[in-house]
Structure 1
Amino acid sequence: MSLRLRPGVSTADTEYGTVVLDERNGEYWQLNATGALVVRLLLDGRTLGQAAAAVAEEFDVTAERALDDATALLDRLRAAGLVVS
């Protein structure tokens, strides 16, 4: 899966994770460290399964839970119009 930010969407890393800004309407989303890792890996060309595996390895969660959470995050980002595949 090739994922990229929609034009007009930018990110900035913070000490708490990553902020995603939709420059069209000024809305922003705060991603915690887990969400930031998933988005960073997907933008780097990794698959959803690979991103979830990295989350499971980095944080104390099962692979199944990591995949469910990563899928839910990706669905929300798509619904908000922030990413395109």
Structure 2
Amino acid sequence: MTFALAPEVSVTDTEHGTVLLNERTGRYWLLNGTGALVLRALLDGTSPQDIVAGLCQRFPDAKSAQAEQDVDNLLHALRAAKVAAS
């Protein structure tokens, strides 16, 4: 699966995460630090399964099933908001 943002979406990192701005509509989305980490990994071509494994390694208290659900929820939300090109 290849993940990309829509061409009209710009990304800005902040001290608290990442902001996505749809330059055509003016709508924006704020991702917290973990959401930003997941987004960057997706944009780098990392599979959702590998992202989940990385999250569980980085955050030892994370449960694999919850991390998987969180990554899936973020992907769904980005697609539903038409931020993702794929």
Q: Same fold (TM over 0.5)?
A: yes
For normalisation by structure 1, the TM-score amounts to 0.94
Q: Runs of 4 or more off by more than 3 Å in structure 1?
A: none
CA displacement at 1:7 relative to structure 2 = 0.8
Q: Residues of 1 paired with 2:56 and 2:19: CA distance? A: 22
* CA deviation map 1:36-77 (0-9, x unaligned): 111100100011111121122222311111110000010000
Q: What fraction of aligned residue pairs are identical, expressed as a percent?
A: 48
Aligned to 1:10: 10
Q: Residues of 1 paired with 2:54 and 2:17: CA distance? A: 16
Query: Which structure features the higher share of strand residues?
Result: 1
Q: Which stretches in structure 2 are left out of the alignment for 5+ residues?
A: none
Q: Residues of 2 paired with 1:76 and 1:33: CA distance? A: 16
For normalisation by structure 2, the TM-score amounts to 0.93
Aligned to 2:63: 62
Q: Which stretches in structure 1 are left out of the alignment for 5+ residues?
A: none
Q: Residues of 2 paired with 1:42 and 1:8: CA distance? A: 18
Instruction: Provide the alpha-carbon RMSD of the alignment.
Output: 0.9
- How many residue pairs are counted as aligned between the two chains? 85
